[in-house]
Amino acid sequence: MPIIQFPHEMKWGAATAAYQIEGAAHEDGRGQSIWDTFSHTPGHVKNGDNGDVACDSYHRYEEDIEMMKDLGIEMYRFSVSWPRIFPDGTGEINEEGLQFYHRFVDALLAQGIEPMCTLYHWDLPQALQDKGGWASRETTDAFADYAELMFQEFNGKIKHWITINEPWCVSFLSNFIGVHAPGNQDLQLATTISHHLLLAHGKAVTRFRELESTGEIGYAPNLEWNEPFSDKQEDIDACNRGMGWFIEWFFDPVFKGSYPEFMLNWFEKKGVSLTLEEGDLKLISQPIDFIGINYYTGSVGRYKENEELFDLEKIDIGYNKTDIGWNVYPEGFYKVLCKVKDQYGDIPIYITENGACYNDGVEYGEVHDQRRIEYLKQHLTSLSRSMEAGVNIKGYLTWSLLDNFEWAEGYEKRFGLVHVNFRTLERTKKDSYYWYKQTIANGWLEMK
Ligand code: IFM
């Protein structure tokens, strides 16, 4: 039986995000976020679901941390709800919000679990949206002020910081495709926002360095792999544009200090341009300590005129799919990691999200989610291959610890190692939980 061995130093972890698990939407002075507004507007989220209660982790975090300890994870990635800290986005600080995160982080540290904190996982204060949201450069300053407060408050406690989670989703999915809050469908707006997000990231990194904070800082883009259907140049180019939207667009400014020409030219053909101010790229491209990579899926694609934004047609060639309809494509994980190394060098990488949606339910107190175990095994194997190829992997954090509020899909789509009954809030450990626990304890995988 072949064995896949992981280095002892690689950190094992799990991830979640505030709006998806906390609940307590109206408690202890929390302000409203764009996701409160969006989910309470009929027609945006399946079944009219919202994050008012979610997994109730705001009240049940001690139980959740006990599970993390039992699972054996060394690192836990969570996000802070910006409107819990600044209910109006800027100005008055909500002390109760800060105290909640202090209690939470202290409880993690007491169990020997390293906190990895994401500052922005999509819950923009509604008050800032009312003033233009990410389309306004003022939001980038508000973000830097919020980040600075968090760095000061948690200096020495939190040693891994992520500025922005999945800037592609925040810009294009939310403001061009329009399925996430605030639900706009405007390519120019989305492109402007993508630049402002990177700017906000850069400004936060500046504050981190100015404060001489201890620890490391990075950001966490989501990547996909597009495999050309044939070796025709037009298929290759179409796939490169599709990937360039996720990779080069969000990596080149940070690692090379410029936007990729081929994407700028393409956007120009679509009537879209970028307005940069002097100094923006310098701020964006200052060195970071690591990159977080979120990977779930990939696909085969070929050139087709006027298909989607990039003349790229995705072809269904029969890959297995998870219950959210995404291809299971572990090969793409290996390829995307090698591409990042080839193009951007040996930057340390944390896999900040990787996991699968399977909606298996509880049967006699157990959840038999064998398909999730297979998905994780295949992706961990790709991860190991990438490490053999020299990719500098520091940690692997699966998405997610718990089933949670899956944004526009509501509670129907389940990504957790732990099942949550959203009526009773009861947690049930799935088979994948026990498998992950054993894998962490071993530090290796056995492949059949
Ligand atoms: O649930 C999300 C998460 O918030 C961001 N990355 C993808 C996950 C699954 O869709």
Ordered by start, the domain boundaries in the chain are 3-446
CA dihedral 177, 179, 183, 187 (to 10 degrees): -10
CA–centroid distance, 139 to ligand 1, in Å, is 23
Assess whether 166 carries a catalytic annotation.
Answer: yes
Ligand 1 atom 1, closest CA: 406
Residue 335 token pair: 């390829």
Cβ of residue 353 lying under 6 Å from some atom of ligand 1: yes
Cβ of residue 406 lying under 6 Å from some atom of ligand 1: yes
What was the pLDDT predicted at 385? 98
Angle of helix 137-153 relative to helix 95-110, nearest 10 degrees, comes to 50
Cβ of residue 17 lying under 6 Å from some atom of ligand 1: yes
Give the atom of ligand 1 at the shortest distance from the alpha carbon of 121: 4
From 22, 248, 313, 353, the catalytic residue = 353
CA–centroid distance, 406 to ligand 1, in Å, is 7
Give the atom of ligand 1 at the shortest distance from the alpha carbon of 222: 6
> Among 21, 55, 79, 166, which is best to mutate for testing ligand 1, by the most ligand atoms less than 8 A from CB?
166
Cβ of residue 123 lying under 6 Å from some atom of ligand 1: no
Determine how many CB atoms are found less than 10 A away from the CB of residue 342. Answer: 11
Q: How far apart are CA 257 and CA 254, in angstroms?
A: 6
Q: How far apart are CA 160 and CA 202, in angstroms?
A: 16
CA–centroid distance, 140 to ligand 1, in Å, is 23
Cβ of residue 294 lying under 6 Å from some atom of ligand 1: yes
CA–centroid distance, 370 to ligand 1, in Å, is 21
Write the CB contacts of 294 (distance below 8 Å, at least 6 apart in sequence): 165, 166, 220, 221, 222, 223, 351, 352, 353, 354, 399
CA–centroid distance, 285 to ligand 1, in Å, is 26
What was the pLDDT predicted at 1? 77
149 to 30, 52, 85: CA distances (angstroms): 16, 26, 9
Amino acid at 328: V
What was the pLDDT predicted at 446? 87
CA–centroid distance, 213 to ligand 1, in Å, is 28
Q: What is the pTM of this model?
A: 0.98
Cβ of residue 68 lying under 6 Å from some atom of ligand 1: no
Residue 342 token pair: 């080839």
Ligand 1 atom 5, closest CA: 166
Residue 157 token pair: 């406690």
Cβ of residue 403 lying under 6 Å from some atom of ligand 1: no
Ligand 1 atom 4, closest CA: 17
Give the atom of ligand 1 at the shortest distance from the alpha carbon of 324: 10
What was the pLDDT predicted at 448? 72
Ligand 1 atom 10, closest CA: 406
Residue 438 token pair: 């054993």
Ligand 1 atom 2, closest CA: 406
pLDDT by 10s per residue, the chain, length 448: 779 999 999 999 999 999 999 999 999 999 999 999 999 999 999 999 999 999 999 999 999 999 999 999 999 999 999 999 999 999 999 999 999 999 999 999 999 999 999 999 999 999 999 999 999 999 999 999 999 999 999 999 999 999 999 999 999 999 999 999 999 999 999 999 999 999 999 999 999 999 999 999 999 999 999 999 999 999 999 999 999 999 999 999 999 999 999 999 999 999 999 999 999 999 999 999 999 999 999 999 999 999 999 999 999 999 999 999 999 999 999 999 999 999 999 999 999 999 999 999 999 999 999 999 999 999 999 999 999 999 999 999 999 999 999 999 999 999 999 999 999 999 999 999 999 999 999 999 987 7
Write the CB contacts of 217 (distance below 8 Å, at least 6 apart in sequence): 161, 162, 163, 204, 205, 208, 288, 289
According to CATH, the topology of domain 3-446 is: TIM Barrel (3.20.20)
CA–centroid distance, 54 to ligand 1, in Å, is 15
